[in-house]
Structure 1
Amino acid sequence: SGNVFADLGFDAEEARNLQLRAELMSRIASFVVKSGLSQQVSAKHLGISQPRLNALLKGRIGDFSLDALVVLLSRIGLEVTMKIRKAA
């Protein structure tokens, strides 16, 4: 299906939401790793606690809403754009 969450049995809407959150979390994690900064410094830059950043880096997807992830991305200079299309 191209969506691991759908393949795991989540309904279509939840699977898409989880996929979007996973993609955004991956971008944030990539930025943190590539920056070479400690989790403490990275967390301060993101405006969150180090334990919260650790949860993100461990992929705890249920701890983060789409809104929260969009805010974090904006804090590291990335912009989220949307494309709306008819469902397949």
Structure 2
Amino acid sequence: MERQQFDNVWDALEDTPEAAESMKVRSALMTHLQERVQGWGVTQAEAARRLGVTQPRLNDLLRGRISNFSLDALVNLLGKAGLRLEVHVKDAA
């Protein structure tokens, strides 16, 4: 079996470069949201209220259940968390 090397775990796990890129972005957004929520130092119930989600939904976020969140959902949560998204696009080559 030939050994392969990847720049990112998502490149290894996903079937297409497009799917890997989506997961990279979703993962980064989730990480920022997790850090923000943890930085609040409040209960999960209060954090869920601030984000306008249910406590089970917040738990999915905090546990990194990335497949439960679309890019749109994560962008909306960023706004509710008081974060702003800036996009920088560059050549893949």
| TM-score over 0.5 for the pair | yes
1:2-28 deviation line (CA, Å, top 9, x unaligned):
321102243100001001001100111
> 1:34-73 alignment to 2 at 5 Å?
34-73=39-78
Residues 3, 16 of structure 1: 8 Å contact kept:
no
1:13-45 deviation line (CA, Å, top 9, x unaligned):
000100100110011111111111111100000
> Which residue, 11, 17, 23 being the options, matches 1:18?
23
Higher Cα Rg: structure 1 or 2? 2
TM-aligned CA deviation for residue 84 of structure 1: 2.0
* Matched residue, 2:11: 6
* Matched residue, 1:77: 82
Q: Alignment identity in percent?
A: 42
Gaps of 5+ in 2: 1-5
Residues 39, 50 of structure 1: 8 Å contact kept:
yes
1:32 equivalent to 2:37? Answer yes
Cα RMSD between the aligned structures?
Answer: 1.2
Aligned equivalents of 2:44 and 2:64: distance in 1? 15
